[in-house]
Amino acid sequence: MWYIEAIHELAITIGSRLGESMGFCSDLFKGWQCQLRLNKYHFSPQTVGLTGALMHSDAGFPTVVHDDEMINGLKAVDNKSGVLFPIDPTPGTLLVNVGDLGMAWSNGRFCNVNHRVQCNDGKIRTSMACFVLGPKEGKMEAPLELVDTEHSRLFIPFTFREYMSLRISTKLPTSEALQLLQTAS
């Protein structure tokens, strides 16, 4: 099995397990598109302290990252405190985070992760990420089971394509773009 097929299957399984934890069927995310991205940061001693990837949140639902096992630099924002903290590499592991679609689909029960890559060591840094982007057809919205009197609908229904167009046109690479799709309530 090719790497992308295996990592896509893993990402869909993780998304499905998250859905199952909330009482939904296990095939909820079958047929969702994915994208594999290979990242290479040309860090050098002159770039120490500079940012390799600006602060952003992933647009999709789960993202599975095979991070550089030798060169750190990934940092995430703690949603409660707002503090940026390092995510040091652990050999033999994968990193999973929730993106904007995960927050919209869960009606705010899952938090998306704002993160960036910074040059801490003047060496080339690499990573591979599999992004689960959403359904090919139809709108992204929280299931009715996740909307009730205590949890009103947080976001208007939207397609992944509409959301990506919004992120690009507003130049908002973080969850600020998702906030533009919040409902009035």
CB contact at 8 A, 34 and 133: yes
Question: Integer distance in angstroms from the first to the last C-alpha of the chain?
Answer: 46
3-state secondary structure labels for all residues of 61-74: CEEEEEECCCCCCE
Per-residue pLDDT tens digits for 36-86: 899 999 999 999 998 988 999 999 989 999 999 888 999 999 988 999 999
pTM for the full predicted model: 0.90
Q: Per-residue pLDDT tens for 97-135?
A: 999 999 999 999 999 999 999 999 889 999 999 998 888
Q: What pLDDT is stored for residue 26 in this prediction?
A: 66
d(CA 181, CA 105): 13
Residue type for position 148: D
Model confidence over 140-154: pLDDT tens digits?
889 888 998 888 999
Average pLDDT across the chain, whole number: 89
Task: Spell out the domain ranges in the chain.
Answer: 3-179
At 129, list the tokens: 């990420």
List, edge to edge, every strand of the sheet that includes 125-135.
32-41, 125-135, 62-67, 95-98
Mean pLDDT (whole number) for 6-12:
86
- Domain 3-179 carries which CATH code? 2.60.120.330
